[in-house]
Amino acid sequence: MNPKRNVKKVESLSFSFGVLFVLLMIIIPLITGIYTYNQSISDHTEYISDTLRHISAMLKNSYTENDSLDEFILSAGTLRNEFELSFITYITASSDNSQIKLLAEVTQPNDTADKYQKPSANYFKDVSPESTQLLSEVAEKGSLVSYSDIFEQKYGEALICYTLLPYNTDSGIICIGTDISEVKNRAFVNALIVALITAAVIAVIGSVYMRYIGKRCIMRLRRLSENIREYTRIKDPIIADNIRQIEKGNDEIAVLSQQTAAMMAEMQNHVNQIMDISSELFNANEQAEKFSKLAHIDALTELENKMAYYEAVNRLDNRIADGTAEFAFIVIDLNYLKRINDECGHNYGDTMIKKLADLIRSFFHDYSSFRIGGDEFAVIIEGNMSGRALTLSSNFQQLLNEGSSMGYKIFPSAAVGCATYRAGIDANVKEVFDRADNEMYGNKVRMKAVRKN
């Protein structure tokens, strides 16, 4: 073999490695940084969108058409402070959605402005065709989170949740926005750090290869490279032991090989630690799910509590909005609780509440049962089975009546009311509940169990 020719091959190979690592130091950090930036923006946007929807639901549930704008502003101001939002506004749109009118505004206060305010004058303002399209989508879907800003970035760069909330006879819309410029800044900084770390890692690896490349080490480096590639593919720790056995000595390649084998072993330890941590995180998630379920359970009766009830009502309201609702309400209220508490003590009163809850759980075991007040319960029957609600209500009332012959201090006495959702007539869940509640109260009157206090 010609030594000069071999030297030229080594030099050519060294140059090729140099060009390769320069490209890698540019391309891989760039791709890694872009991916990290986009992923961070996507994760934060999804989390912020869910948060804004939750806040909109809270504000919508706390506000009715009979409330004044001052009450809306007070509730909105509390939520804005609690969640550190940029602004909450309440607007109404013209019939063709080409104009908007600002009804109320809650923004980040400055040194001269009031903390919460209403606009000095109500007026309609023209909006862009893109905003018109956005308002139409909000009217169609009921709620929408978008980067589109009908306020022309008056409040800065924001992610905004638009939610329908009728105002008098007009179509009112809650607009809740939060500044995302800081999110983008953090995402850029994180992406830059990841890119720099990636470039640094590639630079270290490249410098090691470039420093020790030569005619006498090409084959050994190739063998080492093949071992590393095989380890990357199958993650077998035996490969690290093979490298230690093959590359013995005190020269640079032997040292590099021993260090690589040690790194593989350390990486394997890290992988094992990560697997252990993943297992612990999985167990922690399971515990979190259990705690979340407990947060929706009433401690006294072990039925679902008021929080779970509100979530069910919100879900049914959404189904009413999209035209897929089919449900019925059964409302149950314990009779003579005050008399029992006065004559037998509150502990006995709690016992009667639990007895009634046990009857409800047993009788309505296929349906969702809630404790929505001290002595008031609700059962929601969904789907095709909602047509049986009236029969179930009547049968349960009969069960209570038969049992109460033993005395209301022994067997719970309660009044029952029932109402079924009427598509196209009932505008929301509350109207169905109110009809069931009114029927329950009428039955309570007939049973002469209405409280006198």
Query: Is residue 4 predicted with pLDDT exceeding 50?
Result: no
Q: What is the pLDDT of residue 5?
A: 46
Put the strands of the sheet holding 414-420 in their side by side order. Answer: 368-371, 376-382, 327-334, 414-420
172 CB-contact burial (10 Å; exposed 0-12 / middle 13-18 / buried 19+): buried
Q: Return the bridge partners of 317, or none.
A: none
What tens digit of pLDDT does each residue of 178-231 get?
888 887 888 788 878 887 888 777 777 767 666 655 545 666 666 666 667 766
| Contacting residues for 67 by C-beta, under 8 A, at least 6 apart | none
Lowest mean pLDDT among 125-134, 217-226, 254-263: 217-226
Question: Which of 87-91, 204-208, 413-417, 421-425 is the least confident region?
Answer: 204-208
Give the number of C-alpha atoms closer than 13 A to the C-alpha of residue 69, restricted to the C-beta side.
20
pLDDT over 90 percentage in the chain = 24
Least confident interval from 4-18, 200-214, 288-302: 4-18
Q: Angle at the Cα of 333 (from 329 to 334), degrees rounded to 5?
A: 150
Task: For residue 329, list its beta bridge partners.
Answer: 380, 419
